[in-house]
Structure 1
Amino acid sequence: MKVFLLLYLCADASRTDCQVFPAQHWIGDTAYEQCLDAVPGLTKALTATNRQRHKFVCEIQTDAAKPVEEVARPRFIHQSFRM
């Protein structure tokens, strides 16, 4: 199992306008528990204002869905064209 710790950076406390950033990941049978153990300390490290706006979320990755940084990007193929 692969688990990602996602950081939701939000513009305000309503958390309606957020950007998601992968912060960490774990692999293995205890991956989810390891992620959950990390969240309280990271949340406590935020300032009081930021605790209301931002949040950490543990997400289990399935084989069908891959996080943004793991999606294969098309390779640039150099081609030469002559006229």
Structure 2
Amino acid sequence: MTVFLLLYLCIDATHTDCQMVRADSWSGPTAYEQCTDLVPGLTETLTAPNRKRHRFVCEIQGDGAKPEEHKALPAFIHQSFRM
């Protein structure tokens, strides 16, 4: 199993306009636990206003079974506008 640590950089707290940045990754049977152990400390390093807007998420890649506590995020729609 491979797990990616993703940082969602969002314009506001509604999380409707976010940019995803891959921050790290792990492979192996304990990959998800390694990722989730890191998230609280990283979240704490954000400033209070940024904690409301940005978030760290561990996402499992591949066909393996997902841990019970893993919740799927709503799909973000990326739109591009030209003027």
Same fold (TM > 0.5): yes
The TM-score range, normalised by the shorter chain, is 0.7 to 0.9
Question: What value does the CA root-mean-square deviation take over the aligned residues?
Answer: 0.8
Alignment of 1:1-83 (within 5 A): 1-62=1-62
Aligned residues, how many? 63
Consecutive unaligned residues of structure 1, counting only runs of 5 or more, are 64-83
Query: Distance between the aligned counterparts of 1:62 and 1:20, measured in 2?
Result: 19
Highest CA radius of gyration, 1 or 2?
A: 1
- Where 1:15 maps in the other structure, the secondary structure is coil
1:62 shift after superposition: 1.0
- Where 1:29 maps in the other structure, the secondary structure is coil
Output the TM-score relative to the length of structure 1.
0.74
Calculate percent identity across the aligned residue pairs: 70
Runs of 4+ in 1 over 3 A off after TM superposition: none
Output the TM-score relative to the length of structure 2.
0.74
